[in-house]
Amino acid sequence: MAVYTDVSDEDIARFVAEYDIGKVVSFKGIAEGVENTNFLLHTDQAPFILTLYEKRVNPDDLPFFLGLMDHLSSKGLNCPTPIHGTDGVALRRLCGRPAAITSFLQGMSPRRVLPHHCAGLGDALAQFHLAGQDFDNYRANALSVKSWRPLFESCGNGADDIMPGLSAMIAAELDYLETNWPAKLPAGVIHADLFTDNVFFFPGQEEVSGLIDFYFACNDLLAYDIAICMNAWCFEPDNSFNVTKAQNLLAHYTRTRPLGADEIAALPVLARGSALRFLLTRLYDWINTPEGALVTPKDPREYISKLRFHQKVTSPAAYGIGDL
Ligand SMILES: Nc1ncnc2c1ncn2[C@@H]1O[C@H](COP(=O)(O)OP(=O)(O)OP(=O)(O)O)[C@@H](O)[C@H]1O
Ligand SMILES: N[C@@H](CCO)C(=O)O
């Protein structure tokens, strides 16, 4: 569960009084998520999400994240809108933590990903990339290629405890990626964590109803965001790759933002990089989550298997892109 900070009824009533959003009717912790403390807050006017930012979020990054949500909302993208207090300030403090209230989005993340979800995701991702083009703040990706080796080194021998030989595999992959990482592809604001839990749909519909959780957003290669989505959405629970899902994702993305030949050619290396990024962060969390902690760390092994798949890919056609 992800309620790290307890907020009393008095605290919340005092906090909500700093906004023009009515009076608190109900207030309860949300179990999903691992990074921050989230509450579903109902006032007599509307539902809202209250987030208290926990240790892993750098407070200096919060103006970027909240400013991005403001920007995307103003462009018509369906994402949480930061609510500003009566003094105009959105980023505040509650119970010793930075905190913000955002609008509540209707819809649900898919329990089981079907090919039509990947089509809707492709449209939404491209719309998000275009909407971010004139956002004038900058945040470097703290989890891009340069950070992977130090992250790996901080895991010590942990990799081999998970799977004998994993350390050598990661070391060789780092050598490959550091040499072959593309430098000159179109860049802009990326979501960087657009997993299924961060994308909402209305039941039975292809169109995405909303995107949430912009707390890894940063400036990086736009096609890298596609690679992250391919890894998160286009593998089946048995870790086999579903090319129909990838084809839907890519075909719908390119309807809104056509991909350059250089971006298409780079997809295999970007997919390898994305697989390694989530393998490493999961490995780090696996090693560093104390026993009995409230949060269950995600399994790094899923991303070993995804990485192996992309290492065997010899052409972007493996992702169904040849048929566009
Ligand atoms: N604006 C919103 N509207 C509706 N529900 C939301 C909204 N924001 C968050 N939620 C709900 O809260 C849950 C946790 O939110 P979020 O994913 O932002 O948390 P997190 O701790 O940053 O998690 P993680 O990084 O692990 O995905 C979501 O899965 C969703 O159910
Ligand atoms: N999406 C990440 C978790 C943190 O946001 C993962 O699946 O490893």
**CB under 6 Å to ligand 2: residues?**
193, 195, 278, 281-282, 298
Domain assignment present for 110: no
Per the domain annotation, does 3 fall within a domain?
no
ipTM surpassing 0.90, yes or no? yes
Last residue of one domain, picked from the residues 44, 70, 103: 103
Residue whose CB lies within 8 A of the most ligand 2 atoms, among 109, 143, 191, 195, for a mutation test: 195
Contact 121, 247 (CB under 8 A): no
Does one domain contain both 78 and 132?
Answer: no
Computed on alpha carbons and rounded to an integer, the radius of gyration of the chain in Å comes to 20
* Site of tokens 């998970």: 162
Specify if 133 maps to a domain: yes
pLDDT at 35: 79
CB-based contact 191:216 (threshold 8 Å): yes
Residues 6+ away with beta carbon under 8 Å from 135: 67, 68, 71, 72, 189
Tell whether 136 and 275 lie within a shared domain: yes
Pocket, ligand 1, Cβ cutoff 6 A: 2, 30, 32-36, 38, 49, 80, 102, 104-105, 197-198, 212-213, 215
Residue 261 lies in domain: 115-323
Nearest-atom number in ligand 1 for the CA of 103 is: 1
Write phi, then psi, for 231 (nearest 5 degrees): -70, -40
Q: Is the pLDDT of residue 324 over 60?
A: no
Higher-pLDDT residue of 209, 54: 209
Same domain, 99 and 164: no
What pLDDT, in 10s, does the model give residues 149-200? 999 999 998 999 999 999 999 999 999 999 999 989 999 999 999 999 999 9
pLDDT tens digit sequence for 216-273: 999 999 999 999 999 999 999 999 999 999 999 999 999 999 999 999 999 999 999 9
Ligand nearest to the CA of 105: 1
Same domain, 277 and 134: yes
**Statement to judge: residues 67 and 205 lie in one domain:** no
Number of domains composing the chain: 2
Nearest residue to 216 (alpha-carbon basis) of 201, 197, 237: 197
Looking at the structure, do residues 54 and 129 belong to the same domain, yes or no? no
End of a domain among 103, 137, 159? 103
CATH number for the domain spanning 21: value is 3.30.200.20
d(CA 248, CA 111): 19
> Per the structure block, which two tokens stand in for 142?
């703290």
Task: For residue 323, name the pLDDT band (cuts at 50, 70, 90).
Answer: very low
Same domain, 181 and 309: yes
How far is ligand 2, taken at its centre, from the CA of residue 209, in Å? Answer: 21
The domain that holds 182 is classified in CATH as 3.90.1200.10
pTM of the entire predicted model: 0.95
From the alpha carbon of 216, which atom of ligand 2 is closest?
Answer: 5
pLDDT at 209 over 70: yes
Q: Which residue has better confidence, 35 or 80?
A: 80
Which residues have a Cβ under 8 Å from the Cβ of 269 and sit 6 or more positions away? 177, 180, 181, 182
Give the distance (Å) from ligand 1 centre to CA of residue 253.
24
- Residue 140's pLDDT band, with cuts at 50, 70 and 90, is very high
- Could you tell me if 144 and 13 lie in one domain? no
Atom of ligand 2 nearest to the CA of 195: 1
Q: What angle do CA 124, 278, 245 make, to 5 degrees?
A: 40
Mean pLDDT of the chain, nearest integer: 95
Residues 87 and 160 in one domain: no
Considering 103, 131, 155, which residue would you say is the last residue of a domain?
Answer: 103
Same domain, 271 and 167: yes
